[in-house]
Homo-oligomer: A and B are copies of this chain.
């Protein structure tokens, strides 16, 4: 026994409560959107007292910012793992979009969260957009992509992605949708129809 233990326990409990609040916030934001959510709806969903919210976050904006950051980081990490061994920018982009569509299909709450956070906080266009911009620049530099307005291209591919996610969340059959969406993205980047189809339907890299 030493004096550090009670502090450790308190720190661990505090971290657990923070994680409970974040998890609850993700769910409430996904269901009803960010703008209409009140803090007590988050604490109720987390089964945490209203007052203790402020031990972890200064405001609703602060927990929204934490959810945005965490979501962009987690999704970005999943993309990095899937694309780390690829070299062709076109295949990197295709696999990235297939991972994103796959995540939204496997976890509709995450899909809704991305759709909702995009409107209010640009989580796809600004957060994940940093990843996407890197890949587009790479492809443009290598002459692989025929694009001249990178910000508009990011808006187009991000918009097409959100459109595909929303179609899936609304009941579009998932079979083959991630591949067809990835082919759409490669067409936007200037690849011809046959090459876009071929690259978009390659076996996914082992994760």
- The answer, yes or no, to whether A35 is at the interface (CB within 8 Å) is yes
Contact A163 B125 (CB under 8 A): yes
Residues in B neighbouring A163, C-beta threshold 8 A: 125, 154-160, 162
How many chain A residues sit at the interface, stated as a range, is: 35 or more
Q: How many subunits of this chain does the assembly comprise?
A: 2
Bound together, the chains give a CA A116 to CA B36 distance in angstroms of 14
Chain B nearest CB from A153 CB (Å) reads 7
- The answer, yes or no, to whether A149 is at the interface (CB within 8 Å) is yes
Q: Which of A35, A119, A156, A167 has the most CB of B within 10 A?
A: A156
Residues in B neighbouring A41, C-beta threshold 8 A: none
Determine, out of A6-14, A87-95, A187-195, the stretch whose residues face the partner at the interface: A187-195
Q: Which of A36, A119, A155 has the most CB of B within 10 A?
A: A155
- The answer, yes or no, to whether A102 is at the interface (CB within 8 Å) is no
Whether A164 contacts B172 in the complex (CB less than 8 A), given A152-B177, A187-B190, comes out as: no
Residues in B neighbouring A140, C-beta threshold 8 A: none
Sort A-B residue pairs by CB-CB distance and give the 6 closest, nearest first: A159-B163, A155-B163, A159-B159, A155-B167, A156-B160, A159-B160
